[in-house]
Amino acid sequence: MNFLMPTEVVMGRRCIIDNASIFARYGKRAMLVTGAKSAKLNGSQEDVIAALKSQGMEYIVFDKIMANPTIDIVYEGAVLARENAIQLIIGIGGGSPMDAAKVIALLAAQDISRENLFGGKYEDKILPMIMVPTTAGSGSEVTKYAILTNDVAQTKISIATPLVFPNVAMLDASYTETLTMKTTVNTAIDALSHSIEGMLSKRANAISDLLAAESIKIIAECFKELESGQVSIVSRERLLYASALGGMVISQTGTVAVHAMGYSLTYFKNVDHGQANGLLMGEFLNYINEFEPDMISKILSFMNMNTIDEFKHKMATLLERIEKITEEEIEQYSKTVMKTGHIKNCIVTLDYEGVKRIYEKSV
Ligand SMILES: [Zn+2]
């Protein structure tokens, strides 16, 4: 067994201000990588800047990261980091800004051509990274993945290397309080799918299963509040914790078919990532259940559920439906999915017809 999780996790309200000296460990010049708005609205950017100032550090802000970041934007960020001799990259936001921050840290430290960006052969050089998640979903603050939109492959593709494990993750759930309910729910379901898929991965091990079980339980305990539209700060803290656990899980296990299938819905139909996963998960569990019923019962039991239908009903209550997709589109997406490593990574290897059937029954 192998379990690698080199990221230092600091958690709690005001943890950025109270641990400002952590930033100073990594040099004098920092670059904040974030989206245009949310980090300013939820107070995270202000807290990071206050922490940097308290340590006499200089900083620049690169706030151009969009949802599902492109390859162009990370190269642009890396040029800026180099021009300003940046020593520390601070990613603030959901999965998109954090993933972009990781690739910027990589590209600022070494030359990688666009053709080789997803190749996995990198020199052992990267700028130090601190991540501040402001959603409870991607778990990117503790993963070795950075996911970008790849227009050549017409899907989202991940850069997977232990190099992009952040040095520090700083988790303060108060930044998630300004999220819309829709984002709160979708991101929680993304975290849930990380832990469920992690348990169904060939690479699952005793420690990843332990973390996955805990994460699934916590998220399911929050279903009621997520449904009610009122999520307390205590539950937000638990969701942020569960999301980080899910990130630790997939760093060991990778994700399986649900993520690969969801990427097509996101790429072509602009469906939110967590929503796509949640809508596909029920039928995926039905498929796996034919071969590994004990495993599925175990996962359902963590959510206090007896049947997959119960799970599907819960997802249907929590998530918005998406527009119908055509048979032609389903075939196209299924072909893309079959080319991914996610398929082989699952304890049950899905075939093309199986993938098609999951799409057909889910959307
Ligand atoms: Zn995900």
CA of residue 273 to ligand 1 center, whole Å: 7
pLDDT at 130: 98
Give me the mean pLDDT over the 204-214 stretch.
98
Look up residue 11 and give its DSSP letter. Answer: E
Q: Per-residue confidence at 151, pLDDT binned at 50, 70, 90? A: confident
Q: For the chain, how many residues are written?
A: 363
3-state secondary structure of 256: coil
Tell me: the pLDDT tens digits for 53-106?
999 999 999 999 998 899 999 999 999 999 999 999 999 999 999 999 999 999
Give me the mean pLDDT over the 241-255 stretch.
98
Contact 265, 276 (CB under 8 A): yes
pLDDT at 68: 87
How many CB atoms are closer than 10 A to CB 121? 7
In the structure encoding, which two tokens stand for residue 53, read together? 């100032």
Q: Per-residue confidence at 277, pLDDT binned at 50, 70, 90? A: very high
- E-strand stretches of 152-270: 155-160, 168-171
Mean pLDDT of the chain: 96
pLDDT for 120 beyond 80:
no
CA of residue 57 to ligand 1 center, whole Å: 33
Q: What is the pTM (predicted TM-score) of this model? A: 0.96
∠ at Cα 254 (293, 3), nearest 5°? 100
Please state, in angstroms and rounded to a whole number, the distance separating the CA atoms of residues 278 and 140: 18
Contact 276, 319 (CB under 8 A): no
Give me the mean pLDDT over the 317-339 stretch.
95
pLDDT at 192: 98
Please state, in angstroms and rounded to a whole number, the distance separating the CA atoms of residues 28 and 60: 12
pLDDT for 220 beyond 90:
yes
Give me the mean pLDDT over the 110-139 stretch.
95
Contact 187, 94 (CB under 8 A): yes
pLDDT at 153: 80
CA of residue 147 to ligand 1 center, whole Å: 9
Tell me: the pLDDT tens digits for 97-118?
999 999 999 999 999 999 899 9
CA of residue 195 to ligand 1 center, whole Å: 10
CA of residue 138 to ligand 1 center, whole Å: 5
CA of residue 54 to ligand 1 center, whole Å: 35
CA of residue 43 to ligand 1 center, whole Å: 25
pLDDT at 150: 87
Please state, in angstroms and rounded to a whole number, the distance separating the CA atoms of residues 128 and 104: 11
Give me the mean pLDDT over the 248-270 stretch.
95
Q: Per-residue confidence at 243, pLDDT binned at 50, 70, 90? A: very high
Give me the mean pLDDT over the 245-255 stretch.
97
Please state, in angstroms and rounded to a whole number, the distance separating the CA atoms of residues 187 and 176: 11
CA of residue 256 to ligand 1 center, whole Å: 10
How many CB atoms are closer than 10 A to CB 247? 32
pLDDT at 309: 98
Q: Per-residue confidence at 160, pLDDT binned at 50, 70, 90? A: very high
Please state, in angstroms and rounded to a whole number, the distance separating the CA atoms of residues 318 and 52: 39
pLDDT at 117: 93
Contact 166, 7 (CB under 8 A): yes
SS3 content of the chain, % helix, strand, coil (to 5): 55, 10, 35
pLDDT at 154: 82
